[in-house]
């Protein structure tokens, strides 16, 4: 892992992560603005097997809001915990610190084996 010690990879990961979340939000926002015209029959006009038609219905609202909440959760998680390259997060949590605490707890509970 000595090859990945410069700051490029931290910045690369952070940019890809932020752009991905932003892209998901932009795609969801653009698709949530789609409305079916009142006078239309609600289909796209595509017909298969003589009677199977493709409907042109918007995404269900509960599903759309679930995606928005997932994006908000992702932003909150990346703010509180390390996930954006070298950014340590607001809580300062580290996996090495959690491992050290688990070792101390195991040593106190079980003693030397």
Span 3-34, pLDDT tens digits: 667 778 888 989 999 999 999 999 998 888 76
Specify the number of domains making up the chain: 1
User: Under a CB-based contact definition with an 8 Å cutoff, are residues 87 and 98 in contact?
Assistant: no
Q: Establish if 91 belongs to a structural domain.
A: yes
CA distance linking residue 77 with residue 28, whole number of Å = 20
Task: Please give the span between the terminal C-alpha atoms of the chain, in angstroms, as a whole number.
Answer: 32
Q: Establish if 60 belongs to a structural domain.
A: yes
Host domain of residue 66: 12-35+46-110
Write out pLDDT tens, residues 47-97: 888 888 888 777 788 998 999 999 999 999 999 998 888 888 899 888 888
- Helical H segments across the chain, by residue range: 7-32, 61-80, 95-110
Q: Establish if 80 belongs to a structural domain.
A: yes
Where b means 16+ CB within 10 Å and e means fewer, 71-107 reads eeebeeebeebeebbeeeeeeeeeeeeeeeeeeeeee
pTM for this one?
Answer: 0.69
Q: Establish if 52 belongs to a structural domain.
A: yes
């Amino acid at each position: 892992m000595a090859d990945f010690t410069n700051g490029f990879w931290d910045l690369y990961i952070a940019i890809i992560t932020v752009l991905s979340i932003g892209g998901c939000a932009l795609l969801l926002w653009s698709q949530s603005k789609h409305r079916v015209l009142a006078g239309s029959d609600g289909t796209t006009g595509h017909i298969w097997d003589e009677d199977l038609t493709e409907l042109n219905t918007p995404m269900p609202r509960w599903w759309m809001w679930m995606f928005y909440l997932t994006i908000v959760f992702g932003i909150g998680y990346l703010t509180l915990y390390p996930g954006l390259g070298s950014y340590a997060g607001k809580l300062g949590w580290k996996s090495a610190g959690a491992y050290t605490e688990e070792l101390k707890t195991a040593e106190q509970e079980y003693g030397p084996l």
